Structure 1
Amino acid sequence: MLRIITEPTEAKTELERISGRTQGGETLQQEAAVREILQAVKRVGDEALLDYTAKFDGQVLKAEQLRVSGSELDAAYHQVSREFVDAITLACRQIKAFHRQRMPKSWVQFGQDEIVLGKRYNAVDRAGLYVPGGRAAYPSTVLMNAIPAQVAQVPRIVMVTPPGEDGKVNPAVLVAAQEAGVSEIYRVGGAQAVAALAYGTKTLPKVDVITGPGNIYVTLAKKMVYGVVGIDSLAGPSEVLIIADQQAKAVHVAADLLAQAEHDPMAAAILLTTDETLAKQVKQEVEQQLRNHPRRLLTEKAIAHYGLIVVVDSLSRAAELSNLFAPEHLELEIAEPWDLLEQIRHAGAIFLGNSTPEAVGDYLAGPNHTLPTSGAARYASALGVETFMKHSSLIQYSPTALQKVSNAIETLAKAEGLHSHSESVRLRREMDNG
């Protein structure tokens, strides 16, 4: 089931195949369906939302039922355990502390000749958070999207999530949202929810930024509305790459691989190791842990198609292959992880040492678990407070400063054939000289 590869060329080919598993995954029919949904919501608003909620989620709602009521929010606390609330509280505290350290600071620099330069940061006015439903409830996704928006001081934060089979939103999701400071929640999902956030309806507000993962329809919708609103990223199926040496424990490595594979049939779980014995042990351990796995069918599909073990001749070679793959999650289960870290260039999040499974980062370490996938870590980073902020440049020149650079500006403007650009400087220079 889980393949072991020792040949370098084959390993590179397989890693490239797995990395590209989502490229071109959408079909023309899916794209056409999403465009139709976007246009319908843009055109008729709430009516389209209700129609699509009935069609795709099997829930017949009225417009006034789209927003989760205060009584539902209160009731959610009675439907979860005290232990869950305590865990969410701890996670909130950890995540908030980390993201507060990430807050960019406005600055102003005073230079010679009374030149003032600077940068000013502001939060967007409205943020829309998409929280998926379907196979499982994701309160952790709520925290990872809502807390950075709160720390960035976004004035209005709106959350959308699909209704369950009973027409309600999972109580764990509702509790997580409230603990993260979000109470404006709508029971609508799919491409129609993205459309509502992008264009606005009578019930749902138009936002400035949409964040959060979803299925292929949600991803296509985010892609199509980008430009009307900002988005965090086009998230693909999750992935982990583990680099392990002879001191790693097979039972731990196997559990970490399966922790990724159980997300989705297209999730990728990869091990690069210098120890052939460990490779064989991990393969056996994966099969053992799968026997009574509650999500066995789904997890087996991911392992069969996108699971891989590569035996390499050195940790340096493992780092090279990891940089080629640019994983969403990278675990360094080796004796000296900080030494190898210097060779790692591309990864969404890096987990160092045998006592740091990826689950720590998924839930409460603090850094965001919304990360670039499918090789995007080569150029993209985790969701953070910056996702909900924008900056403006500050520029002020005194008459003396403008005089000193006026000839250079006029020369450049003339080279580009922009007459009034040049004139805007010349007229000021001559007036000041006069």
Structure 2
Amino acid sequence: MWVVWCEWVQMWVVCCEWVQMWVVCCEWVQMWVVCCEWVQMWVVCCEWVQMWVVCCEWVQMWVVCCEWVQMWVVCCEWVQMWVVCCEWVQMWVVCCEWVQMWVVCCEWVQMWVVCCEWVQMWVVCCEWVQMWVVCCEWVQMWVVCCEWVQMWVVCCEWVQMWVVCCEWVQMWVVCCEWVQMLMWFSSKCSSGEAAASQHEKPNRKSNLLLWALLAAALIIIYRLAFDKIRTNKTLQTLKEDNKVLQEDNKVLSEDIEALRKHISDHVCLKSDRNWEKHGDKCYYFSDRYLSWNESRGFCEDLGAHLVKIDSREEQEFLVEKVKNFVMGDWEGLWIGLTDSEVEGIWTWVDGSPLDSRMKFWLKGQPDNFKASSASGEDCVTILKGGAEDLNTWNDDVCRFARKSICEKPAGTGPSSSVCG
């Protein structure tokens, strides 16, 4: 009975577990139903999102269409402007061709004049070169002679030293002989009293010998002192001669350098016709078309700088020179004035500010006109025409190509007109 009862209990336990499992299954079925409902809601949301995306795309297409219409209107306006610009460009090209033809003709004339001047300069340079070669040969000969004289002086000193050494050797031999004689005499004098009484006459001879030795020593000392004094005088004379030769060599070197400077200055002065001296300054009127910064570098390569105008007299000189330039009346040459660092504050290339008493602006200038450049006009040219009362300065765009004027102090060579 007890076993049967235990089996029934086990069956009851098993039934309870099956009931629990059934309850769990029911809960899972409920959760599945809930999940299905959530999936249906998600599908509905996705459909609404798709409809919203489609609407947004249609709105974007509408906006793009409006923009394309605006762009088409702008393009039409630009086409009209392009047609007008093309007509102006054609007119400008024709004018530029005529100007270029005129410039080419003027340049050919200038080249012919320059060629003639270069031929004359070449003849002058050849003559100066020949003179320079002759001078160099004479200088070399003089240097060689000086070197031979120095070698001869050294040889003479060595010969004198050799003679002195030989005399000293001879004196040393004589002294050695006298010492030997003295030792021999001393040994003879020490033979005893008996021998002394027998040799009174030889002792008298020995006294005479000692006096002779003393006289010889005095003669040798006098000779040595005399040789030393003579040697010192000779050495002092040689030093003075050497000093004189060095001074002559220095003077000759200075003369050679002065001659080289004179020839170099003369050749440089004649080698470039664009350098011109005025007062204590030299001016270079460049024919090259460069921007302001390029012109500044070009002048620095020549050892100069863009011109700085310090006086009314200097402005008068430059105005007269510019009038003779082959170019248009309203073309300009760069000078060393700019306000590129701070707008409206004009400074020269050396950093000094513009003197308010030394301004030569053209009427209405500076105007910093920005039609050709967004940065405006920050550099200054001196114009050829249209000037009244020396007012020829005009502010211009720094990147435009213009001719220029360089300036540097006049040379200090033998010629007062050195500018090269």
Structure with greater Cα Rg: 2
TM over 0.5: same fold?
A: no
Please give the TM-score of this superposition, normalised by the length of structure 1.
Answer: 0.20
More helix by share: 2
